[in-house]
Amino acid sequence: MKDALAQQPVTRSMVVLLIVLLTLLVLPHVANLSGWILGFFLASIVLRLAALRLPRLLPGRWLLGLLMLLGIGNVVINTGVVDGRLAGTALLVVMLGLKLLELKNRRDMYVCVFLGFFVVMTQFLYSTRLWLAIYLLISTGLLSTLLVALNRVHVDVRQTFAATALLLLASLPVAITLFLVFPRLDTPLWAVTLDADKAVTGISDTLRMGSIGQLSQSSATAFRVRFSDKEPTAEQRYWRGMVLWSFDGKTWSAVPTAVPPRRLSVVPESRIDYELTMEATGQPWLFPLEMTAEEPDGTRFNRDYQLISRGEINKRTSYTLTAYTRFKAGDLSQRQTELALQLPEEISERTRELALGWKQAATITGEQAIVERALQYFNQQPFVYTLTPGQLGEDPVDQFLFDSRRGFCEHYASAFAVLMRLAGIPSRIVIGYQGGEFNPRAGHWIVRQSDAHAWNEVWLEGRGWVRVDPTAAVAPERIEQSIDAGQSSASGRVVYALDDKGLFSKLWQEASWLVDAADLGWHRWVLGFSKARQTSLLQRFGIADLPAWAQSILVIAVVFMLMLLAYLFGLIRKPQRSDEALQLWNRLLQRLRAQGLNVPAWFGPQQTLQAAVRKWPRQREALEYLVRLYIQLRYAQRPQAQSARRFREGLRQLQLK
C-alpha cells in the first residue's frame, strides 16, 4: 500500500516545534550531564536552526559520520562509561542532536519523537519529583501532538490539540491498569548503582546547644503521617528519634548498644495505627509516634526503642506502624544506670547546689516531687523561650541556668537532664519532632523540620522511663502549636503557626496544603507503589492464592475483556441510530412512490422534497416538516429523542391525494 501522506513535505514549523520540544525534554538533564554533552547537543540544535535559513549549513554524510565519532568520543571521555545509566543518557542526548542534524523527512521526525520519549524516561532515572514528572508528562503530550499533526492533511492547531488530549485521556485506563497490575521484579535485571538525593536538613545523632534552633528555621517536610483511625492528641504527638545518654559538658551523644529491646507492656485500648512516610534523609533513623511497638520490615528497634532502618533512607519511603499512647517501657541494667547518671567533670557549684537542694527537700515525697520542682523552677524563674539565645561560653548549662536564661528546647532539655542526674534520677535526652500540621486537603499530618524538638525521659521506680518535657513548662504553647518557620527566622522570636492570619496567608496556606497533598499522592500512588503494595491490592480481588504473575495476567485479561465488551456494545449500538432514520425515510419514500411520485434512488431529501411539493403543493408544510425532521435525525450530532416519534406522527397525518 502506498503512503500518500509521505509525499507531503515536513513543514518548517513542525521542525521548529520538534526542536523546541526536544530541547525542553533534555533541559532538566542540566543537573545530571556534563557541560560537554549538553554543549554538543546545544551546538547541534543551533546549527539545525540556522540551517532552516541556510540549508547548505547542514553537514553532508562524511561530516555527519565524523561528528558521530566526535560525539561518541565525547560520551566516553565525559562519562567514563562506568555508570551505565549516565553513559546511556549521554549517548542518547548526543545521538538526538545528530539525528536532528540529518532531519529531512517524516521518517526522521518519527525517530526524533521516539528518541524524545526515551529521553523522558532517562529523566525519571535521575529524579522522580512530582513537578518534574508533570513537566515531562506535558512535554510528552505535546510530542504526541506532533505525531497527530504529522498524520493529518490539514492541520488545525486547536483541533489537533483537542484530539491528542482525548487520545491521551482515553489511554489512561489502560495505563493505570497496567501500572497497578504489571508484575514487578524483586531484583534488577542488571546491576545498578544509583546515587540517591542526599538530604540537606535533618536531625543528627548528637545534640549541641543551638543545633535544633537552626533546624527550626526550615519549613522543609521531615515526614508525613496518616492515621487510619484514632489520632493522638496534641500533647501526645511526640515523634521519637534518637535517645542520647552521654554528655561531655557541651554535646550530648548516643551510646551504641547491641542489646535487643525488652518487650513493651502496653494498654491495648490506646492503640493507634498509622502510616509514616519519611522524606529522603540519607540517614537510617525513623521518627515513630511515641510509643511504637512493632518494627516493620526493613527496620529494627534498638534497646531504647529507637526505630532504625536497615539501610539509609535515600528515597521517600512509607512504613505501616502501630503505636500505644499508654505503655510501660524498659528496664534499667547496672550499666544503664551508670550511663543515665553520668555527668561531665566540670559542673559548677551553683548548679550542684540547686539540684542537691531539691533532692534534700524531697527525701520524703520521692523522685516525682524532684521532677515537679525542676519544672516549677523553669516555669517560675524568668526563663525565655527563644530562637536566639545568644552565645554560651565554657559551661553552657551553668550560664543558661543562672545568667542568660534564654534558650530553645535543647537548652531546657540539656539543663534538665543535668539537674536530674545531679539529683540522682536516671535521665536521658530524646530528640525527634513534636506536633505537626494537619493538611485538611489530604487528610494527613505534615511534620516539618521546624517541629524538631528535644525532651527528656527520666527513670521513675515502678513507672519505667517517663517522658518529661521541660520546654512545656516554659512555653506550653509550643506543645499546642507548631512554629512558623518563615516568620521565626525573620524576627528571631518564636512565632507560632496560629490560626488568625491575613487572607493572603490563608490562601498561601491553602495552596501549600494542596501542593503537599499532590506531592504525597504522587508518592503514595506512584513512587511508593512497591511489590508489597501491589500484592495487597491484588489480594483485594480475592486471588491471593495465585502466584503474582498469574494474578497480574488475570487482572489484565479481565480489564481487556471489559474494554472489548464496552467496544462491542458501542459497535452494535451506534449504527442503529442512523438505521432508524433511514427506515423512517424509506417509509416516507414508499408513501410518495405509492402515490405515483417518481423518486429516483439518487435523489437526496431536498430533491425529493422539491419533487413532492411540485406534485402536492398544498402539502408543502407537512412535507417540509417531515424532511426537516429526517435531516435532523440523520445528521444532527445529537438528534432529539422525540424526533423519531414526531416523524411517525407526521407521516400518519400526511394526506396525499
Partner 1 sequence: MRAEQDDGDGRVIIGGRRIYILPTRYGLMYATLLLLMLLGSLNYDNQPAYLLTFILVGLGLNAMYQTWRNLRGIRLHMLHAEPVFCGHDMTLRLRLDSVDARPRYAIQMQLADSACVDDLPDNSESIVMTLQAASRQRGWYSVPRITLSTRYPLGLFTAWCYAAPKTRILVYPAPADQNMLVRHTLQDGEELATAEHGSDDFVGLREYRPGDPPRHIDWKSYARERGLMSKQFSSPQGTPILIDWHALHSKDVEWKISLLTRAVLDADQAGRRYALQLPGQFIEAASGAAHRHACLQALACFEPDTHA
CA distance 585 to 604: 11
Q: Which of 69, 190, 504, 652 binds partner 1 (CB under 8 A)?
A: 190
Closer Cβ to partner 1, 43 or 121, answer by number: 121
How many CB atoms neighbour CB 360 within 10 A? 9
- Residue 360 or 576 having the CB closest to partner 1: 576
**What is the β-pairing status of strands 384-385 and 406-407?**
parallel
Catalytic residue among 304, 398, 451, 469: 469
Strands 246-247, 251-253: pairing is antiparallel
Annotation marks residue 186 as catalytic = no
d(CA 316, CA 48): 41
Nearer to partner 1, 77 or 566 (CB): 566
What's the min distance (Å) between Cβ of 277 and partner 1? Answer: 14
Residue 593 phi, psi dihedral angles, 5° rounding: -65, -40
Residue with Cβ nearer partner 1 (137 or 234): 137
Using CB under 8 A as the binding rule, the residues of this chain from 513 to 542 that contact partner 1 are: 526-529
Kindly tell me which residue out of 174, 259, 511, 561 binds partner 1, with binding defined by CB under 8 A.
Answer: 174
Strand, helix or coil at 553?
helix
Are 272 and 325 within 8 A, CB to CB?
Answer: yes
List the interface residues with partner 1, window 328-357 (CB under 8 A). Answer: none
In the bound state with partner 1, the residue whose beta carbon lies nearer, of 430 and 520, is 520
Q: Which of residues 108-167 bind partner 1 (CB under 8 A)?
A: 110-111, 114, 117-118, 120-121, 124-125, 128, 133, 136-137, 140, 144, 147-148, 150-154, 163-164, 167
> How are beta strands 384-385 and 307-309 bridged, if at all?
unpaired
**Phi, psi of 392, rounded to the nearest 5 degrees:** -110, 145
CB of 563 to partner 1, least distance (A): 9
Look at residues 586, 562, 594, 602 and name the one whose alpha carbon lies nearest to residue 647: 586
Taking the C-alpha atoms of residue 302 and residue 262, their distance in angstroms, rounded to an integer, is 10
Choose, by CB under 8 A, the member of 64, 176, 200, 565 that binds partner 1.
176
Please, which residue, 69 or 185, has the CB nearer to partner 1? 185
Nearest distance from C-beta of residue 5 to partner 1, angstroms? 6
Residue number with CB closer to partner 1 (4 or 594): 4
Of 238-297, which residues contact partner 1 (CB under 8 A)? Answer: none
* Rounded Cα gap, residues 472 and 225, in angstroms: 23
CB of residue 12 vs partner 1: minimum separation in angstroms? 20
Query: From the CB of 422, what's the least distance to partner 1, in Å?
Result: 53
List the catalytic residue out of 398, 409, 444, 523: 409
Do 469 and 235 form a contact (C-beta atoms < 8 A)?
no
Site stretch for partner 1 (CB under 8 A), options 2-10, 218-226, 342-350, 467-475? 2-10
For residues 530-563, one letter each, b for 16 or more C-beta atoms within 10 angstroms of the residue's C-beta and e for the rest, the string is eeeebeeebeeeeeeeeeeeebbeebbeebeeee
Q: Which helix (H) or strand (E) holds 465?
A: strand 464-468
Kindly tell me which residue out of 492, 575, 614, 620 binds partner 1, with binding defined by CB under 8 A. Answer: 575
Residue 469 annotated as catalytic: yes
Q: Which of residues 586-625 bind partner 1 (CB under 8 A)?
A: 601-602
Question: Measured between alpha carbons, how far is 338 from 401 in angstroms, rounded to an integer?
Answer: 24
Query: Which residues lie across from 459 on neighbouring strands?
Result: 465
Whichever of 124 and 402 has its CB closer to partner 1, that residue is 124
Note if 411 is an active site residue: no
Distances (CA, A) of 77 to 68, 86, 119, 195, 514: 14, 12, 21, 20, 45
* Residue number with CB closer to partner 1 (5 or 31): 5
Single out the segment in contact with partner 1 by CB under 8 A; choices: 69-77, 492-500, 568-576, 585-593.
568-576
Per annotation, catalytic residue among 453, 484, 516, 519:
453
**Cα–Cα distance for residue pair 370/360, rounded to 1 Å:** 9
Site for partner 1 in 59-98 (CB under 8 A): 85
Q: Which amino acid is located at 53 in the chain?
A: R
Shortest distance, position 115 Cβ to partner 1, whole Å: 9
The residue from 333, 567, 624, 649 that contacts partner 1 (CB under 8 A) is 567
DSSP 83-130: SHHHHHHHHHHHHHHHHHHT--SHHHHHHHHHHHHHHHHHHHHH---H
4 binds partner 1 (CB under 8 A): yes
Q: Residue 418 CB: number of other CB atoms within 10 A?
A: 23
Q: Give the number of residues in contact with partner 1, rule: CB under 8 A.
A: 64
Q: List residues binding partner 1 (CB under 8 A).
A: 1-5, 85, 107, 110-111, 114, 117-118, 120-121, 124-125, 128, 133, 136-137, 140, 144, 147-148, 150-154, 163-164, 167-168, 170-176, 178-179, 182, 184-185, 188-190, 192, 194, 526-529, 567, 571, 574-575, 578, 601-602, 635-637
Catalytic positions, written as ranges = 409, 453, 469
